[in-house]
Amino acid sequence: MSRTREFARLPGFRDFPPEEMALRNHLFDAWRRVSRRYGFLEYDGPPLEELELYTQKSGDEIVGQLYTFTDKGGREVSLRPEMTPSLARILGERSRAMPKPIRWFSIPQLFRYERQQRGRLREHFQWNVDLVGADGVEADAEVLAVALDGLRELGLGVDDIRARVSDRRLLAALLTSVGVPEGSLLATYAVVDKVEREPRERIAERLTEEVGLAQATVGGILDLFDEPGLEPVARAFAQDPEVTRRVAEMREFMATLEDLGLADFVEFDLTIVRGLAYYTGIVFEVFDAQGEFRAICGGGRYDDLLELVGGEPLSAVGFGMGDVVLADLLAERDLAPAYRRAVDHFIVVIGDEQASLARRVARALRDAGRSVVYGVRGQSVRKQFSAAANEGAREVIILGPDEVAREVAMLRDMESGEEREVPLDGLLNPSPAVRGEARSAESGGNRSQAAGES
Amino acid sequence: MSRTREFARLPGFRDFPPEEMALRNHLFDAWRRVSRRYGFLEYDGPPLEELELYTQKSGDEIVGQLYTFTDKGGREVSLRPEMTPSLARILGERSRAMPKPIRWFSIPQLFRYERQQRGRLREHFQWNVDLVGADGVEADAEVLAVALDGLRELGLGVDDIRARVSDRRLLAALLTSVGVPEGSLLATYAVVDKVEREPRERIAERLTEEVGLAQATVGGILDLFDEPGLEPVARAFAQDPEVTRRVAEMREFMATLEDLGLADFVEFDLTIVRGLAYYTGIVFEVFDAQGEFRAICGGGRYDDLLELVGGEPLSAVGFGMGDVVLADLLAERDLAPAYRRAVDHFIVVIGDEQASLARRVARALRDAGRSVVYGVRGQSVRKQFSAAANEGAREVIILGPDEVAREVAMLRDMESGEEREVPLDGLLNPSPAVRGEARSAESGGNRSQAAGES
């Protein structure tokens, strides 16, 4: 036990001192409230899984980014980079005995490790919501509604956020229609996923060289993304029955979101492809409306995944929403609650002779559900009042020798500064707190937002 | 994406499907409520730290059990086996600017990896509570009170749990008094830590051979543990001023717990040593009163640790309480809440023509804070009622063509079976939920326990 150097946290990891933890709890509380309003049940899995659970089913994009290592038992393992494979594994063991659909949510911490990415976080928390065993586009709409309501619960409205939606099957029908062979579809997705971030010449080059598509097909693909809205696509491919079928489903999806009061938040956008290989239908991402930040949320339908990792064949749709971009957006919109400490009572003693009484009062008030702090032994009265202010005490209870001799205590309301005497007996035998819950030591203002934006 | 084998979770890790997650949340909610009642603020750190943060300051016991590996950047890292080193590191960066004392708590997931330990868990969750920058035994008593009230909050009373308390300095004074040289104290602690689990002959042998103590000293040590209560020790060493001073402090500690209403939960026990090397004063463990389980909670004073990992010299006292033994004890005492699902409303549609209206009703009720589930498209009415029962719906809202034509819906109370008609308009424009909080989809009965056991 010799004294040595100072330590720092690992690069890419965050500490959560109380002010950061209060913000994290603010997000988690909102996510939990909204999940429950939609009837979703919370679950969790281990932060560490067998490596193959991830390499098995994901596209190439994820594999190089895994936080992977060999454990002491020689197993190849990985810190979880996403929750869906764990969900699939857990349901694989038990879904056959469960009524469908299954509505589950979780808030895991996820991990990535890319080398040579200075300043990039290697962990984040992600709200995961999955609806398993329901086929129709109503299920897709219900899941997107959970995501949007989670953001509305945090105060974000239709001026702040926008969901962009597409459909892998519609995109497949369109690509097939302009000449992409079925075997080249996944490779084509990977290239057109970048269509908004790379110049058209680069996209054309990659479609030609990497995917090996003919000149005419490449031209047809680029034309698709010139007008990526639903109506232009529907008009241009009105003769294609598969495209027409998928367009009708997309309209039904939009009508469902209209019923749910969220249509103004949603727009069709063919450029939304999603990186992961396992999506099979509608896909969506949520962005800030000004387009200043990276995506806040991404999700979609993945009907084959559960069977792939050994479960029963079950359709599924879900999303993940990270805490990092969302916290940045809330801060920019002035929607992150101000951090302030708060306890119900701080007990000040004038002399150490009142210390025992202070503890008995503290005990009685805590048993009644209140939050109570008292001063450290030997602290001056001035220091005790300074500590009370620092703790955010609503009320200070002052125990002085004269008052105690008369079996009373002085209460000072810390906001108004008003003082009044109360019988000690009432403090030692308080009525239970009305709300049954102590004033939080880290409450942060408006936790529940009005919900009339849409 | 070829189909392959089934996956299992890694050995020693747990999944938390909703019924297990509800119990975990039941513990966490109680721990958070009690922490806040005592004015403690929640924080968190990363689940992964530099290996040396742990090898630096812990006794040998911990080192062989670390879940350690080399990351892709060549760093020696470890999944956190305990929270205190992270706390010390975080405070080391910022405590100088903070008013003292500092009251912080956390509920981290912790990890151990011992080879050849079949069936033993490699992770658990642990409630960590630390009071930093307060010296007196009142601070030690306050921290033990948090632990005991956390257990009372879960329904455990004085017949269920017992805290056993000792003091490293008292033990040091006693050992010195019977002839243990100062340089052999830590090694002696490690042996007498096992005094209740190993036969006396084995203890004597280890003290002689491993620690190298003289015959008379070994005899003196064993005599100490024949009557490990406070009064026998005080009587036998009444001439030793250091022992007398530490006995007086222990009595003050007990008197403080008396004020806090918890004296009946606490007993002095010299055999409580605690494995970790960094404790410097009072140490304690909480057990079930019948002694059937391993310790539920352990903690104590560690006044040198923060300076050791690079912070300012700050006294500190804290504890950790794990979720595993506690959950076993709650189950055995029938105090684990029964799991039951619960939503406020399930909407049943007689035909698909009411599906759009069902979604509009769901949206309105959810915006008012209620939890609402509706059936999947095409489900028969019978299946929808079965789904409503499965979700634990309090009330079913039935939308049939005749009722909707009359602008009403039928409500069925699922407990009483009573039905009544209400205007659709009221459902589409509900008053906000009185409590502002949806009925939890995983509430589990009595969340707040009466607190009059002691």
d(CA A144, CA A139): 9
pLDDT at A83: 95
CB contact under 8 A, B373 and A38: yes
Which positions in chain A touch B139 (Cβ < 8 Å)?
Answer: 376
Q: Among B359, B373, B390, B439, pick the best mutation site for testing chain A contact (most A Cβ within 10 A).
A: B359
Backbone angles phi, psi at A171, to 5 degrees: -60, -40
CB contact under 8 A, B21 and A1: no
Which positions in chain A touch B56 (Cβ < 8 Å)?
Answer: 4, 7
- On whether the CB atoms of residues A92 and A307 are closer than 8 A, the answer is no
Torsion of CA A278, A284, A285, A290, to 10 degrees: 160
CB contact under 8 A, A25 and B43: no
Q: Looking at the partner chain, which of A14, A41, A376 has a beta carbon nearest the beta carbon of B441?
A: A41
pLDDT at B274: 86
CB contact under 8 A, A373 and B43: no
CB contact under 8 A, B123 and A90: no
Which amino acid is located at A200 in the chain?
Answer: R
CB contact under 8 A, B359 and A260: yes
d(CA B158, CA A183): 69
* Bigger pLDDT: A306 vs B140: B140
Q: Residues with Cβ < 8 Å from A314, sequence gap 6 or more?
A: A91, A95, A100, A132, A133, A303, A306, A307
- On whether the CB atoms of residues A329 and A108 are closer than 8 A, the answer is no
pLDDT at A440: 52
Which positions in chain B touch A37 (Cβ < 8 Å)?
Answer: 366, 369-372, 438
Per-residue pLDDT of chain A (454 residues; tens, 9 = 90+): 444 567 889 999 999 999 999 999 999 999 999 999 999 999 999 999 999 898 876 555 566 789 999 988 889 999 999 999 999 999 998 999 999 999 999 999 999 997 766 668 999 999 999 999 999 999 999 999 999 999 999 999 999 999 999 999 999 999 999 999 999 998 999 899 888 889 999 999 999 999 999 999 999 999 999 888 899 999 999 999 999 999 999 999 999 999 999 999 999 999 998 876 789 999 999 999 999 999 999 999 999 888 877 778 899 999 999 999 999 999 999 999 999 999 999 999 999 999 999 999 999 999 999 999 998 888 899 999 999 999 999 999 999 999 999 999 999 999 999 999 999 999 999 886 544 455 554 444 333 333 333 3
Q: Around B319, how many Cα atoms within 13 Å sit in the side-chain half-sphere?
A: 27
CB contact under 8 A, B441 and A355: no
Which amino acid is located at A375 in the chain?
Answer: G
Q: Which residues of A303-312 are buried (b: 16+ CB within 10 A; e: fewer)?
A: bbbbebbbbe
Q: Looking at the partner chain, which of B3, B37, B145 has a beta carbon nearest the beta carbon of A308?
A: B3
CB contact under 8 A, A38 and B9: no
- On whether the CB atoms of residues A56 and B33 are closer than 8 A, the answer is no
For B18-332, CATH number out of 3.40.50.300, 3.10.310.70, 3.30.930.10, 1.20.58.190 equals: 3.30.930.10
d(CA B221, CA B238): 17
CB contact under 8 A, A369 and B37: yes
Across A157-161, B163-167, B197-201, B343-347, least confident range:
B197-201
Which amino acid is located at A427 in the chain?
Answer: L
Is domain B343-438 given the CATH code 3.40.50.11540 in the classification?
Answer: no
Closest Cα of chain A to B198: distance in Å?
Answer: 27
Which helix (H) or strand (E) is A162 found in, with range?
A: strand A161-167
How does pLDDT run across B422-446, given as a tens digit for each residue? Answer: 999 999 999 865 444 555 544 443 3
Beta pairing class for B408-413 and B393-399: antiparallel
Q: Looking at the partner chain, which of B43, B68, B356 has a beta carbon nearest the beta carbon of A18?
A: B43
pLDDT at A453: 32
Backbone angles phi, psi at B314, to 5 degrees: -140, 130
Positive or negative CA dihedral for A128, A131, A135, A141?
negative
Question: Residue ranges of the domains in chain B?
Answer: 18-332, 343-438
d(CA A184, CA A176): 10
Which helix (H) or strand (E) is B4 found in, with range?
A: none
Closest Cα of chain A to B390: distance in Å?
Answer: 8
CB contact under 8 A, A7 and B48: no
CB contact under 8 A, A15 and B44: yes
Q: Looking at the partner chain, which of A6, A37, A70 has a beta carbon nearest the beta carbon of B366?
A: A37
Positive or negative CA dihedral for A177, A179, A180, A181?
positive
Closest Cα of chain A to B371: distance in Å?
Answer: 4
Closest Cα of chain A to B343: distance in Å?
Answer: 6
Which positions in chain B touch A48 (Cβ < 8 Å)?
Answer: 10, 13, 79
Q: Looking at the partner chain, which of B25, B71, B366 has a beta carbon nearest the beta carbon of A38?
A: B366
Closest Cα of chain A to B194: distance in Å?
Answer: 22
User: ipTM of the assembly?
Assistant: 0.93
CB contact under 8 A, A43 and B53: no
Q: Report the 10 Å Cβ neighbour count for A423.
A: 12
Q: What is the pTM of this model?
A: 0.93
Q: Which two tokens stand for residue B78?
A: 């470890």
d(CA B48, CA B114): 17
Q: Which two tokens stand for residue A395?
A: 């009320």
Q: Among A4, A14, A36, pick the best mutation site for testing chain B contact (most B Cβ within 10 A).
A: A36
Closest Cα of chain B to A370: distance in Å?
Answer: 6
Which positions in chain B touch A442 (Cβ < 8 Å)?
Answer: 36, 41-42
